[in-house]
Structure 1
């Protein structure tokens, strides 16, 4: 039995943190579904920027859409939605078999809207309608403004992947926004079954404190925060408030572990996957981490619903001078800024491709100029002119 199958049997879903047209067309994603127990995927601007930069799979569509006068943002969403529709269709049997618990894909809203509640609501509804796939999440950051939008978007019936959560407190605010939306739907006579996941970013904690704490505390804070959050998640599911919603037909907002690739060579390349093994959760893995865990990952234990020794571990970091609440806010702010940077780089890449492809087409349509030559002596070497065209890859 491979280790991804063990996670599946434990009750943890394995999602791929990647999507490209190449993965879809060459059968790689189907292979991951068949042989690595992958039951969903997530996407983000960085993934698409790299895919567009390093392949030609999107070139013709970019050229065509740019010629039609579409903006870089419009081009991106049309490309991404086309990919995600195909992926959603691959996961559709899983989505159906699990009654909508699993088999999801995710599309991220523009991070430029992070502080604009009304624009976020409108765009989330528009994108979901454009995709025309019931198993597609819209990713919205769980910032203070984002949580307001999340409640309204879920109330409107749009499934949401709450992203950029870094602490138990941030998770609980996202969970409260979800429950308020479902309670409002029930009061309005609407179907309470609107799916959502809450994505807690783990490894970035360890990167942030690595140079600020003793070596014996390295790579321990992210797991401690995750354990604290997992305990709160389990307590929420046992609360009278949630049980009433479940009885009315509501679906659990599942906890998702994000940022689970190892970033320190001193630890195992499957460290976070092994430490975050836990029932009724999701782990979204970068492609490299999926393959390495499938090859040699080990599950030694599962996370405790009581949080193990999370509070003692966190107390050691506080003693070392780490302000947990302050750092959680800082990580969320930095995450928002990082997403914005990735978004701008993505649009710049699409624009660069559009210009390059348009220039290449215009160049092909021009006749090759004749270069006049001077008579030369027989012993003089012939000058061979080479024509170079700059192409972004």
Structure 2
């Protein structure tokens, strides 16, 4: 038994926030499953940019795509789809044993189309069909333009990972989009028990931005609040999940509740515990997607102290109230983080295309 097994007993599944062909071909991904209790994988444009820009694992396929005169974006998705399909196969047994909750592998739609709902749902359908695995999840960003695509995808029976959620207001919209999609899936006579979804709430980036603003204020009270916003914000999201989904009476029979997923859980400030966003965000029916460094820190630690989500609503609300009262504009923080989140993924995607393009000529 490991600390991650203990985390699973509390109710939090651990997914790896990283993927590469090297992990697949070396057997490393399979080894992580068996030795570190990992039960899923998430990817994003930055992860694929890092994977495809290193080593020689993709050289043969790139040469083949060059002969086929593939464009850069077509080539990148072809490579990513092959990796994701193979990863789905690695986790197939976990998927079956967990009844579809875990054993999941996520692939994200092109971040450049996040404001175009029609293009987003078209690509979500294409990726779902091309990967062709039931344990796939399509990542769609929680932006104004993509909200309708989330419902559309679920209505089609596509399992969805809604990503880049920072604020409670945005999360409320995501929950409504989930409910709408599941109801439509049931109306379309689909088996809703086979549709799964997670809502990826970002954590460490909240602390980075709010800590910076608290330091600019500079008072003793402001500085005392550093490192508390990310956890409090996520704990408030969990309270919202309980009230809006666990207590919902208007969902079709057999619905799998959209689980909160804690993303960006590697601490950015070395003064904070490396397991801060693990031990303080453990609770029923949740997922924590971690970089391997955080997974290893969790395995080496004994800092779990049970369910830290179920009874956290009052205290976490007070933390956010104190931060707002001292002069931090939380609405501005969350709007900035969402905008920057999309921009970072677009930048990573563009860098990847720029690195692959010359190799296709």
What are the superposed Cα offsets for residues 2-34 of structure 1, whole Å, 9 maximum, x if unpaired? Answer: 211111111210000001111111121111111
2:225 is the alignment partner of 1:217? yes
Structure 2 CA distance for aligned equivalents of residues 299 and 270 of structure 1: 9
Deviates more, 1:343-352 or 1:124-133: 343-352
Equivalent pairs, count: 352
Structure 2 CA distance for aligned equivalents of residues 257 and 109 of structure 1: 20
What are the superposed Cα offsets for residues 76-134 of structure 1, whole Å, 9 maximum, x if unpaired? Answer: 11111111111101111111111111110000100111111111111100111000111
2:258 is the alignment partner of 1:257? no
In structure 1, the partner of 2:219 is: none
What are the superposed Cα offsets for residues 146-194 of structure 1, whole Å, 9 maximum, x if unpaired? Answer: 1111111111111110000002221121111011111122233332232
Q: Secondary structure at the match of 2:347?
A: helix
In structure 2, the partner of 1:90 is: 90
Q: CA RMSD, aligned part only? A: 1.4
In structure 1, the partner of 2:62 is: 62
Q: What aligned pairs does 1:183-222 form with structure 2 within 5 A after superposition?
A: 183-193=183-193, 194-213=195-214, 214-222=222-230
In structure 2, the partner of 1:178 is: 178
Structure 2 CA distance for aligned equivalents of residues 45 and 150 of structure 1: 19
Structure 2 CA distance for aligned equivalents of residues 211 and 159 of structure 1: 36
2:330 is the alignment partner of 1:324? yes
Unaligned runs of 5+ in 1: 356-393
Q: Secondary structure at the match of 1:241?
A: coil
Structure 2 CA distance for aligned equivalents of residues 39 and 272 of structure 1: 18
* Offset of residue 297 of structure 1: 4.8
Structure 2 CA distance for aligned equivalents of residues 122 and 150 of structure 1: 11
Structure 1 CA distance for aligned equivalents of residues 199 and 355 of structure 2: 30
What are the superposed Cα offsets for residues 282-330 of structure 1, whole Å, 9 maximum, x if unpaired? Answer: 0000111112221235202422324240111001110121121222122
Unaligned runs of 5+ in 2: 215-221
Q: Is the 8 A contact 2:66 2:359 kept in 1?
A: no
- Output the TM-score relative to the length of structure 2: 0.94
In structure 1, the partner of 2:299 is: 294
Structure 2 CA distance for aligned equivalents of residues 235 and 329 of structure 1: 24
Match of 1:348 among 337, 341, 354: 354
Q: What aligned pairs does 1:83-162 form with structure 2 within 5 A after superposition?
A: 83-162=83-162
Taking a change above 3 Å as real, the CA distance of residues 216 and 25 of structure 1, as seen in their structure-2 partners, is: same
Q: Is the 8 A contact 2:139 2:160 kept in 1?
A: yes
Q: Secondary structure at the match of 1:78?
A: helix
Q: Secondary structure at the match of 2:256?
A: coil
Structure 1 CA distance for aligned equivalents of residues 60 and 189 of structure 2: 47
